[in-house]
Amino acid sequence: MPNKKIDDEEKVLKKEKTWVEKKVLAKNVQNVDETLTNKKDESTKIKETSKQNDFKDILKKELPKIKEKKALPKNKVNKELPKTKAKEKKLLPKIKEKNILSNELSEEQKDLKLLDRIKEFFKRNPDKTSSLDENIEQSDYLPEYYDLPYRYNETVVKILAQTPKRLFIYWDIADSDIEKYRKAFGEDFFEKTYPVLLVHNEELNYTYEIPINDFANSWYIDIKDSKNKYTVQLGRKFKEYPKFVKETQQIIQEENINLQNDYIEIVSSNTLEVPNDHVLFENLNQYVLYRNVKTKEENKKDITTLVNGIAKVYNVYDLYKIIYKDEMNNVMFDLNNPGSAGNPSSSMTSSRFL
Amino acid sequence: MKNIKGYVSFILHAHLPYIHHPESKDYLEEEWLFEAISECYIPLLLNFQKLEEEKVDFRLTMTMTPPLLNMLDNKLLQERYIEYLEKHIELCEKETERTTYDERCNKLSYYYLDRYKNDLHIYKDVYKCNLITGFKHFQDIGVLEIITCGATHGYFPILYVNEKTVRAQIAIGVNCYKKYFGKQPRGIWLPECGYVPEADKYLREFGIEYVITETHGVLYADPTPIYGNYAPIVSSDNIVAFARDIESSQQVWSSINGYPGDYNYREFYRDIGYDAPYDYIKPYIATNGVRVNTGIKYHRITGKDCEKDYYDVQWAKDSAERQAGHFLNCRTAQIENLSSYMHVPPIVVCPYDAELYGHWWYEGPYWLYILFKKIYYDECNFKLITPSEYIDNFPNIQVSTPCRSSWGANGYSEVWLNQTNDYAHRHLHKAGDRMCELAWLYPNEGDTLRRQALNQCARELVLAQSSDWLFIITNGTMVEYAHKAIKDHIGRFTKLYYQIKKDKIDAEYLYDIAQKDDIFPEIDYMIYY
């Protein structure tokens, strides 16, 4: 019992000590912060202030005529009317003139007449909660509308990896290049050829062709080998084997057109290494390389010395079967795809707000 | 004296996309921030505070992404959050009168009234509308490690077609962190845990030491990690990778039998925004009259396909305490097993979206509080640790290149690259190339207006690159907003791009969009040079 009492007291003292140390740490951080702040010289302070604070203020200085834009707080309205009155003044003489000359009013004049009628209505009905002068909500910000361009008129092909076994490819051919090919091969060039994608695996050194069509500007393709580097060429193939006259061959040379028999290379893509999709049991050797991340020193350790309780480790798979034994019992777990097993963050049951 | 055989590292990823609309008060999406503050960030701070007052030593790692930091620091959004709270208090006061028909329900209405009043007091009076300082305090006393993220959560496995755009995401993220926390971040949460080896050199350039990956980010590394995901690995560029643990993730996150599904917990889908009479609730839902969640919910899960009973705060706390004990026992058994084979102490990495704790799982912050207390006081063979501490204590790490991966559904890029959103990538790539072109054409620009235009281009580009828009489109939630966000940011970028190149910058237009997209006031377009 006395020993337990001493142990308990010791625990309390240790806890107190830990938190006293933390308070000292926080104080030190505060002191360092203050020292750093005091040490900054004026020029640095001014530079930082002008950088951070309001690049909007800097812009405003460039724009003396820009009026102050205020954000609309919730549930409040902007009490200023648009420049109707000023407009009204300018237009009034014209309106009168117009009325004398014709019974037809312009759109603008109709709006002004409507405005007058509405104002009149609220003057006669002051009990109505909405008043034209008070209820017009008008943002000071510019209205905007954007649409994405259909194309950028450039010759390009890019590849992205959707999964270890599926690529996404997008492409385009610039108008200038379209003209170039038509000039070389005739106006019907795009009718007598068809578009293809040549998929090349750099590691295993094989290439295959995927015919596409001229209605598409992107494509998904399945590939055989994960964790390899791929490039893709966008090209065109002649439907019938071509024979070229001398003038055409001259243009081909001048325009640097890459023609190989019946195939023309239009453009090549970026080189992309697709992700790996399995445990690389075969890649772990007898010796495992370690690095001290502080000193950068490296050393190799025999794999048999790294694992306790197993006499001989022939391969890491045996070890994984032990350390993942609970997961192996879970039908959702697949050592070949553990990533999909436990994280619904990006699924329909996402834990995110979005 | 505990016999420590291993470690557990909790990592909470707090992120929201940058939603800022001074031009209109009608954007529902703005409420994501307000809900997160009320349901997640303030409860986390309060629970950390309790742990500090009770002198419970704990360790937690937390990402606070640059868009979130910028929004928490934004004066307009701070004002709008206070208005949000005041409106909720008004609604709660009405609820205390409306719910007198049932004693249990009425008691809950007072509970919510107290809660929102307390939120207002904590936010305005205690933290002076600056929650960032609240989290910084816990970092300063050594219990919380805050890490950074890409500038706007741009997804690296797609953006790295132009590596400079990835470099810029990292640079802006690190600079933003330094601005708010006054020091170098040691770790980074790669957006969506999207790892590509090509980013490592830029991470190292900006002083980052470690990243967090999905399980197979380490499990499928080359060569195979000897200890699976229970020890970190280090790449050739000296970036250490910690990978998510499967078992602890499923216990918390599984929609089938995860902790948040306990029958005593609050039912998310019974909100008075949908349950209350329409005319009564109309002033408190969307301005266009669409019913939305208010955060005031009176029911508990109760069971599957049954009538929902009223929520009981104490019953929910009891469940949280029981589950904290379960989690502790599971980790103890797991580490006991692992440590018998490993030559280094195993580390069980538990990363989650921060918003899980409090928003989707209302009792989550309390569960964390109880769990951290139990780890400190109860018999167990592990301690909480941050990744930085693990590296400092166990710096000898197996050299291996992590696998290109993400924590999205199916583990790769399907969520951000599929037939619903693949149209966006050529535009993002083109804008990235054009930004580099501008930096090259106008290096160290001296003219103020042009320099501001170039900086604004950089802002629009990073805002367009946010992975959230693609995620939203795939998930089919606020799809129109996401489509519009991509169009607006690419549209503004492209318009400015042409104005700069033609030397016809419309100052009024520039000022207008600078007000709307005012993230990263200190951005320097030269990061694209």
ipTM of predicted complex: 0.94
| Residue-level pLDDT at B215 | 94
| Residue-level pLDDT at A281 | 82
Integer Cα distance of A342 and A309 in angstroms: 29
Residues 6+ apart with CB under 8 A from B79: A73
Sign of the torsion angle spanned by Cα atoms B188, B190, B195, B198: negative
Integer Cα distance of B113 and B94 in angstroms: 10
CB atoms within 10 A of CB A334: 13
- In B379-524, which ranges are E strands? 382-384, 396-399
Average pLDDT, chain A: 72
Average pLDDT, chain B: 96
Per residue in B341-381, pLDDT (tens digit) is: 899 999 999 999 999 999 999 999 999 999 999 999 998 99
Nearest to B423 by CA among A216, A204, A306: A216
Q: Does pLDDT of A94 surpass 50?
A: no
In the three-class reduction of DSSP (H, G, I as helix; E, B as strand; rest coil), residue B310 is classed as strand
CB pair distance less than 8 Å for B452 and A55: yes
Give, for B501, the enclosing helix (H) or strand (E).
helix B479-501
In angstroms, what separates the C-alpha of B518 from chain A's closest C-alpha? 8
Q: Would you tell me which residues 109-148 of chain A have a C-beta closer than 8 angstroms to some C-beta of chain B?
A: 139-142, 144, 146-148
Residues 6+ apart with CB under 8 A from A20: none
Q: Answer yes or no: are the C-beta atoms of A239 and A190 closer than 8 Å.
A: no
CB pair distance less than 8 Å for A160 and B417: yes
| Residue-level pLDDT at A145 | 93
| Residue-level pLDDT at A284 | 77
Q: Does pLDDT of A53 surpass 80?
A: no
Task: Return the C-alpha torsion angle B156, B161, B163, B165, nearest 10.
Answer: -70
Q: What is the SS3 string spanning B8-25? A: EEEEEEECCCCCCCCCCC
Could you tell me which chain B residue has the CA closest to the CA of A142? B512
Per residue in A218-269, pLDDT (tens digit) is: 999 999 999 999 999 999 999 988 777 777 888 888 888 888 888 999 999 9
In angstroms, what separates the C-alpha of A51 from chain B's closest C-alpha? 5
Give the pLDDT band (50/70/90) at residue A170. Answer: very high
| Residue-level pLDDT at A333 | 53
Per residue in B184-233, pLDDT (tens digit) is: 999 999 999 999 999 999 999 999 999 999 999 999 999 999 999 999 99
Q: Could you check whether the bond before residue A143 is cis, i.e. omega within 30 degrees of 0?
A: no
Per residue in B177-186, pLDDT (tens digit) is: 999 999 999 9
Per residue in B319-349, pLDDT (tens digit) is: 999 999 999 999 999 999 999 889 999 999 9
Nearest to A351 by CA among B357, B112, B421, B280: B357
Q: Does pLDDT of A317 surpass 80?
A: no
| Residue-level pLDDT at A255 | 83
| Residue-level pLDDT at A352 | 58
CB pair distance less than 8 Å for A330 and B448: no
Per residue in A285-300, pLDDT (tens digit) is: 788 999 999 999 999 9
Could you tell me which chain A residue has the CA closest to the CA of B158? A160
Could you tell me which chain A residue has the CA closest to the CA of B176? A52
Task: Return the C-alpha torsion angle B18, B21, B25, B29, nearest 10.
Answer: -30
Determine which of A6-15, B98-107, B463-472 has the lowest per-residue pLDDT on average: A6-15
Q: Answer yes or no: are the C-beta atoms of B323 and B254 closer than 8 Å.
A: no
| CA neighbours closer than 13 Å in the CB half-sphere of residue A236 | 22
DSSP symbol at B77: H
What's the start-to-end Cα distance of chain A, in Å? 57
The DSSP code sequence of A132-191 is HHHH----SSPP------S-----EEEEEEEETTEEEEEEE--HHHHHHHHHHH-TTHHH
Domain spanning B8-23+38-73+138-262+318-410: which CATH class is it, in words?
alpha beta
In angstroms, what separates the C-alpha of B344 from chain A's closest C-alpha? 9
Give the phi and the psi of residue B238 in degrees, each rounded to 5.
70, 30
Q: Does pLDDT of A1 surpass 80?
A: no
Q: What are the boundaries of each domain within chain B? A: 8-23+38-73+138-262+318-410, 418-528
Integer Cα distance of B207 and B187 in angstroms: 9
Give the pLDDT band (50/70/90) at residue A324. Answer: confident
Q: Which CATH number fits domain B418-528: 3.40.640.10, 1.20.120.350, 1.20.1430.10, 2.130.10.10?
A: 1.20.1430.10
Integer Cα distance of B312 and B302 in angstroms: 11
